[in-house]
Structure 1
Amino acid sequence: MDWVERVRALRQWSNKGVRAPHKPLLMLYALGRFQQAPEQALPYTEVEGDLKALLHDFGPPRQTSPSYPFHHLENDGVWEVRTDSGHGSPGSGVGVLRASGARGQLVPELRSALATDPMLLWRLAHLLLDTHFPPSLHADIAAAAGLDLEAAEDARRMTVSVRDRRRAAELRREVLSAYAYRCAFCGFDGAIGRVPVGLEAAHVRWWAFRGADELHNALCLCSLHHRLFDRGVLGMDPGRRITVSDAFAGRGRAARDQVLELADRRVEDPPHGGEPVAPENIAWHTGQVFRGRPRTAVSLASVRRR
Structure 2
Amino acid sequence: MDWLERVAKLRQWSRGGVRAPHKPLLLLYALGRYQVDAEGELAYTAVEADLKGLLAEYGPVRGTTPAYPFHHLVSDGVWEVRTDRGAGSPGSGVRELRASGAAGRLVPELRAVLRQDPSLLGRMARVLLDLHFPPSLHQDLCDAVGLELELAETATLTAPGRRQRDRRMRDAVLTAYEYQCAFCGYDGMLGTVPVGLEAAHVRWWAFDGPDDVDNGLCLCSLHHKLFDRGVLGIGGTEGAGGSGRGHRVLVSPHFAGRSHAAREHVTTLAGRPLIGPRPGARPVAAPHRSWHTSQVFKGSTRPDRLVSGV
Q: TM exceeds 0.5?
A: yes
Q: Find the counterpart in structure 2 of residue 182 from structure 1.
A: 180
Secondary structure in 2 matching 1:241: strand
Q: Find the counterpart in structure 2 of residue 247 from structure 1.
A: 254
The offset of 1:2, in angstroms, is 1.0
Q: Find the counterpart in structure 1 of residue 217 from structure 2.
A: 219
For the residues of structure 1 that align with 2:79 and 2:155, how far apart are their CA atoms? 23
For the residues of structure 1 that align with 2:121 and 2:48, how far apart are their CA atoms? 23
Q: Find the counterpart in structure 1 of residue 87 from structure 2.
A: 87
Letter in 2 for 1:86: G
**Is residue 2:266 matched to residue 1:259?**
yes
For the residues of structure 2 that align with 1:291 and 1:181, how far apart are their CA atoms? 27
For the residues of structure 2 that align with 1:212 and 1:44, how far apart are their CA atoms? 38
For the residues of structure 1 that align with 2:49 and 2:21, how far apart are their CA atoms? 16
Deviates more, 1:11-20 or 1:268-277: 268-277
* TM-score, normalising length: structure 2: 0.90
For the residues of structure 1 that align with 2:14 and 2:202, how far apart are their CA atoms? 19
The offset of 1:261, in angstroms, is 1.1
The offset of 1:153, in angstroms, is 4.5
For this pair of structures, how many residues does the alignment match? 291
* Higher RCO, Cα 8 Å, sep 6+: 2
How has the CA–CA distance of structure 1 residues 77 and 202 changed in structure 2, closer, same or farther, with 3 Å as cutoff?
same
Letter in 1 for 2:50: D
> Which of structure 1's runs of 4+ aligned residues deviate more than 6 A?
160-163
For the residues of structure 2 that align with 1:65 and 1:18, how far apart are their CA atoms? 17
For residue 194 of structure 1, the aligned residue among 192, 195, 199 is 192
For the residues of structure 1 that align with 2:141 and 2:23, how far apart are their CA atoms? 14
For the residues of structure 2 that align with 1:292 and 1:216, how far apart are their CA atoms? 23
For the residues of structure 1 that align with 2:157 and 2:278, how far apart are their CA atoms? 38
Q: Find the counterpart in structure 2 of residue 300 from structure 1.
A: none
Letter in 1 for 2:55: L
For residue 280 of structure 2, the aligned residue among 273, 276, 285 is 273
Provide, for residues 161-195 of structure 1, a one-character-per-residue CA deviation record: whole Å limited to 9, x for no partner.
99835x1x210011001111111111111111111
For residue 288 of structure 1, the aligned residue among 295, 298, 302 is 295
Provide, for residues 70-125 of structure 1, a one-character-per-residue CA deviation record: whole Å limited to 9, x for no partner.
00000000000111111111110111111111110000111111111111111011
Higher helix share: 1
**Is residue 2:148 matched to residue 1:128?**
no
Provide, for residues 252-293 of structure 1, a one-character-per-residue CA deviation record: whole Å limited to 9, x for no partner.
111111111111111111113200001111111111111135
Letter in 2 for 1:45: T
Provide, for residues 105-159 of structure 1, a one-character-per-residue CA deviation record: whole Å limited to 9, x for no partner.
000111111111111111011110111000111111111111111x345554554
For the residues of structure 2 that align with 1:20 and 1:157, how far apart are their CA atoms? 21
* TM-score, normalising length: structure 1: 0.91
Q: Please list every run of 5 or more consecutive structure 2 residues that lacks an aligned counterpart in the other structure.
A: 238-246, 302-310
Q: CA RMSD in A?
A: 1.7
Letter in 1 for 2:206: A
For the residues of structure 2 that align with 1:293 and 1:12, how far apart are their CA atoms? 23
For the residues of structure 2 that align with 1:110 and 1:155, how far apart are their CA atoms? 23
Verify the 8 A CA contact 1:12 1:20 in the aligned structure 2: yes
> After superposition, where does 1:40-51 map in structure 2 within 5 Å?
40-51=40-51
For residue 235 of structure 1, the aligned residue among 233, 236, 240 is 233
How has the CA–CA distance of structure 1 residues 68 and 157 changed in structure 2, closer, same or farther, with 3 Å as cutoff?
closer
> After superposition, where does 1:14-93 map in structure 2 within 5 Å?
14-93=14-93
For the residues of structure 2 that align with 1:15 and 1:163, how far apart are their CA atoms? 20
Secondary structure in 1 matching 2:236: coil
Verify the 8 A CA contact 1:238 1:283 in the aligned structure 2: no
Secondary structure in 2 matching 1:256: helix
Letter in 2 for 1:191: M
How has the CA–CA distance of structure 1 residues 152 and 104 changed in structure 2, closer, same or farther, with 3 Å as cutoff?
same
